[in-house]
């Protein structure tokens, strides 16, 4: 998760989006404070065979990484794992 956050922050900065210098730490603190049983919104959709938003999330970070010549291996890995399920089973 930290790698995903670091990549997203780096892309945001490249896109001239102003974030706090400690945005990664803020994000990780928020994630750590979530209830243990919490699931990312993608997981229930994946479990139900519903359409995913992987291309708009992890895929977009990868595309912007290419645009700015920023390596985004964590987002590429997540997108590679989720993209076969992008359209769900329906």
Instruction: Tell me what the pLDDT averaged over the chain comes to.
Output: 95
pTM: 0.89
d(CA 25, CA 6): 9
Instruction: Identify which of 4, 3, 2 has the alpha carbon closest to the alpha carbon of residue 58.
Output: 4
Q: Which domains does the chain have, with CATH numbers?
A: 2-85 (1.10.1040.10)
**How does pLDDT run across 73-83, given as a tens digit for each residue?**
999 999 999 99
| Mean pLDDT across 60-79 | 97
pLDDT band per the 50, 70, 90 thresholds, residue 41: confident
pLDDT of residue 89: 83
pLDDT at 90 exceeding the cut of 80: no
| Mean pLDDT across 22-28 | 98
């Amino acid at each position: 998760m930290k790698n995903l956050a670091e990549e997203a922050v780096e892309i945001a900065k490249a896109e001239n989006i102003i974030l706090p210098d400690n945005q990664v730490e803020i994000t990780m603190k928020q994630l750590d404070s979530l209830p243990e049983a919490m699931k990312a919104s993608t997981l229930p959709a994946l479990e139900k065979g519903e359409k995913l938003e992987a291309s708009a999330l992890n895929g977009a970070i990868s595309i912007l990484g290419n645009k700015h010549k920023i390596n985004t291996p964590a987002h590429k890995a997540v997108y590679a794992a989720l993209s076969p399920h992008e359209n769900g089973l329906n």
